[in-house]
Amino acid sequence: MTNDFKRTMGKLKNADKRLAAIHLPKRVDLQEQSPFDVNIVSCSDCGAKGELKSVDNTWFAQCSNTKCANQIQTPVNFKWKASLLWMQKNSSTVDYRTLPFFDLSGLRKDRAREKLKHIDNYIRMNKDKSDAIAKLDIESNGIGLVYDYSYWEALYFWCTAAKSSVKQFKAR
Protein backbone atom coordinates (compact mmCIF):
# COMPACT_ATOMS: atom_id res chain seq x y z
CA MET A 1 0.00 0.00 0.00
CA THR A 2 1.32 3.41 -0.93
CA ASN A 3 1.46 6.28 1.53
CA ASP A 4 -0.94 8.27 -0.67
CA PHE A 5 -3.48 5.43 -0.58
CA LYS A 6 -3.16 5.09 3.21
CA ARG A 7 -3.51 8.84 3.67
CA THR A 8 -6.60 8.94 1.44
CA MET A 9 -8.19 5.97 3.24
CA GLY A 10 -7.49 7.68 6.57
CA LYS A 11 -9.12 10.86 5.27
CA LEU A 12 -12.19 8.89 4.16
CA LYS A 13 -12.51 7.04 7.47
CA ASN A 14 -12.09 10.27 9.43
CA ALA A 15 -14.72 12.03 7.30
CA ASP A 16 -17.18 9.12 7.69
CA LYS A 17 -16.61 9.01 11.46
CA ARG A 18 -17.10 12.76 11.88
CA LEU A 19 -20.10 12.91 9.52
CA ALA A 20 -21.84 10.19 11.53
CA ALA A 21 -21.71 12.54 14.54
CA ILE A 22 -22.57 15.78 12.72
CA HIS A 23 -26.11 16.78 11.95
CA LEU A 24 -27.06 19.86 10.02
CA PRO A 25 -29.04 22.51 11.89
CA LYS A 26 -32.76 22.47 11.16
CA ARG A 27 -33.99 24.27 8.06
CA VAL A 28 -30.57 24.28 6.41
CA ASP A 29 -31.13 23.25 2.81
CA LEU A 30 -27.94 22.62 0.89
CA GLN A 31 -30.07 21.74 -2.13
CA GLU A 32 -32.07 25.00 -2.08
CA GLN A 33 -30.50 26.01 -5.39
CA SER A 34 -27.45 25.12 -7.40
CA PRO A 35 -24.33 26.37 -5.61
CA PHE A 36 -22.93 27.16 -9.06
CA ASP A 37 -25.58 29.87 -9.68
CA VAL A 38 -24.09 33.00 -8.15
CA ASN A 39 -25.18 36.60 -8.64
CA ILE A 40 -22.33 39.06 -8.85
CA VAL A 41 -22.50 41.64 -6.04
CA SER A 42 -21.67 45.34 -6.05
CA CYS A 43 -18.22 46.72 -5.40
CA SER A 44 -17.61 47.60 -1.75
CA ASP A 45 -15.16 50.36 -2.71
CA CYS A 46 -17.33 52.44 -5.05
CA GLY A 47 -20.78 50.78 -5.23
CA ALA A 48 -20.59 50.01 -8.96
CA LYS A 49 -21.59 46.62 -10.30
CA GLY A 50 -19.09 43.82 -10.27
CA GLU A 51 -18.37 42.05 -13.53
CA LEU A 52 -16.91 38.76 -14.66
CA LYS A 53 -14.45 38.41 -17.50
CA SER A 54 -13.11 35.34 -19.20
CA VAL A 55 -9.35 35.52 -19.75
CA ASP A 56 -7.46 32.59 -21.34
CA ASN A 57 -9.93 29.93 -20.15
CA THR A 58 -10.03 31.41 -16.64
CA TRP A 59 -12.45 33.75 -14.89
CA PHE A 60 -11.75 37.06 -13.28
CA ALA A 61 -14.04 39.32 -11.21
CA GLN A 62 -13.59 43.06 -10.96
CA CYS A 63 -15.41 46.33 -10.52
CA SER A 64 -17.16 47.62 -13.65
CA ASN A 65 -16.02 51.17 -12.82
CA THR A 66 -12.80 51.65 -14.80
CA LYS A 67 -11.55 54.15 -12.20
CA CYS A 68 -11.84 51.58 -9.40
CA ALA A 69 -9.06 49.02 -8.91
CA ASN A 70 -11.12 46.53 -6.87
CA GLN A 71 -10.72 42.97 -8.21
CA ILE A 72 -10.05 39.40 -7.07
CA GLN A 73 -6.36 38.61 -6.79
CA THR A 74 -6.01 35.74 -9.23
CA PRO A 75 -8.06 34.40 -12.15
CA VAL A 76 -9.73 31.04 -11.40
CA ASN A 77 -10.97 28.13 -13.50
CA PHE A 78 -14.68 28.51 -12.82
CA LYS A 79 -17.13 31.38 -13.19
CA TRP A 80 -18.93 30.46 -9.95
CA LYS A 81 -15.63 30.53 -8.03
CA ALA A 82 -14.74 34.00 -9.36
CA SER A 83 -18.23 35.21 -8.37
CA LEU A 84 -17.94 33.79 -4.85
CA LEU A 85 -14.41 35.15 -4.35
CA TRP A 86 -15.75 38.54 -5.46
CA MET A 87 -18.65 38.17 -3.00
CA GLN A 88 -16.24 37.35 -0.21
CA LYS A 89 -13.99 40.31 -1.09
CA ASN A 90 -17.01 42.64 -1.16
CA SER A 91 -18.87 41.01 1.72
CA SER A 92 -19.72 44.34 3.35
CA THR A 93 -22.25 44.87 0.52
CA VAL A 94 -23.98 41.54 1.26
CA ASP A 95 -26.67 41.03 3.88
CA TYR A 96 -25.85 37.56 5.26
CA ARG A 97 -29.51 37.08 6.24
CA THR A 98 -30.50 36.89 2.55
CA LEU A 99 -27.98 34.29 1.41
CA PRO A 100 -29.31 30.89 0.30
CA PHE A 101 -28.60 27.47 1.86
CA PHE A 102 -27.94 28.38 5.49
CA ASP A 103 -31.21 29.85 6.84
CA LEU A 104 -29.56 32.83 8.52
CA SER A 105 -32.56 35.16 8.30
CA GLY A 106 -33.53 36.53 11.69
CA LEU A 107 -30.24 35.55 13.34
CA ARG A 108 -27.98 37.98 15.17
CA LYS A 109 -24.35 38.02 14.05
CA ASP A 110 -23.12 35.84 16.93
CA ARG A 111 -25.77 33.17 16.29
CA ALA A 112 -25.17 33.26 12.52
CA ARG A 113 -21.41 32.92 13.08
CA GLU A 114 -21.95 29.87 15.34
CA LYS A 115 -24.35 28.25 12.89
CA LEU A 116 -21.96 28.80 9.98
CA LYS A 117 -19.10 27.28 11.97
CA HIS A 118 -21.14 24.09 12.37
CA ILE A 119 -22.21 24.06 8.70
CA ASP A 120 -18.63 24.74 7.57
CA ASN A 121 -17.45 21.64 9.44
CA TYR A 122 -20.18 19.54 7.79
CA ILE A 123 -19.28 20.86 4.32
CA ARG A 124 -15.54 20.31 4.85
CA MET A 125 -16.07 16.71 5.93
CA ASN A 126 -18.24 16.01 2.87
CA LYS A 127 -15.67 17.73 0.65
CA ASP A 128 -12.92 15.51 2.11
CA LYS A 129 -15.10 12.45 1.71
CA SER A 130 -15.99 13.13 -1.92
CA ASP A 131 -12.33 13.84 -2.69
CA ALA A 132 -11.25 10.54 -1.10
CA ILE A 133 -13.99 8.59 -2.88
CA ALA A 134 -12.92 10.03 -6.22
CA LYS A 135 -9.22 9.31 -5.58
CA LEU A 136 -9.92 5.76 -4.50
CA ASP A 137 -12.53 5.23 -7.23
CA ILE A 138 -14.92 3.53 -4.81
CA GLU A 139 -18.62 3.68 -4.01
CA SER A 140 -19.86 5.73 -1.08
CA ASN A 141 -21.19 3.91 1.95
CA GLY A 142 -24.15 6.30 2.06
CA ILE A 143 -23.20 8.35 5.11
CA GLY A 144 -23.98 12.01 4.52
CA LEU A 145 -24.89 13.73 1.29
CA VAL A 146 -22.70 12.47 -1.50
CA TYR A 147 -22.05 14.77 -4.42
CA ASP A 148 -18.94 15.34 -6.43
CA TYR A 149 -16.08 17.40 -5.07
CA SER A 150 -16.98 20.54 -7.06
CA TYR A 151 -20.45 20.65 -5.42
CA TRP A 152 -18.92 20.64 -1.93
CA GLU A 153 -16.21 23.06 -2.98
CA ALA A 154 -18.85 25.52 -4.23
CA LEU A 155 -20.79 25.21 -0.96
CA TYR A 156 -17.54 25.75 0.94
CA PHE A 157 -16.97 29.00 -0.97
CA TRP A 158 -20.59 30.03 -0.24
CA CYS A 159 -20.01 29.34 3.45
CA THR A 160 -16.74 31.29 3.43
CA ALA A 161 -18.47 34.25 1.75
CA ALA A 162 -21.32 34.02 4.29
CA LYS A 163 -18.87 34.02 7.22
CA SER A 164 -17.13 37.05 5.77
CA SER A 165 -20.49 38.78 5.29
CA VAL A 166 -21.45 38.13 8.92
CA LYS A 167 -18.13 39.57 10.05
CA GLN A 168 -18.49 42.70 7.87
CA PHE A 169 -22.26 43.20 8.31
CA LYS A 170 -23.53 46.51 9.55
CA ALA A 171 -27.31 46.82 9.92
CA ARG A 172 -28.68 49.33 7.45
Answer with the residue of higher pLDDT: 103 or 17: 103
- Could you give the C-alpha distances from 79 to 87, 107, 160, in angstroms and in order? 12, 30, 17
pTM: 0.81
Q: Given this model, what pLDDT does residue 29 score?
A: 79
| Average confidence (pLDDT) over 44-71 | 96
Contact by Cβ (8 Å): 95, 170: no
Q: Reply yes or no on whether the pLDDT at 145 is more than 50.
A: no
| pLDDT value at residue 148 | 83
pLDDT of 131 reads 82
| Residue-level pLDDT at 26 | 62
Report the amino acid identity of residue 90: N
Q: Cα(first)–Cα(last) distance of the chain, in Å?
A: 58
Give 26-53 as a DSSP string.
Answer: TT--TTSS-TT--PPPBPTTT-PBEEEE
The pLDDT assigned to 13 comes to 72
Q: What pLDDT does 61 receive? A: 97
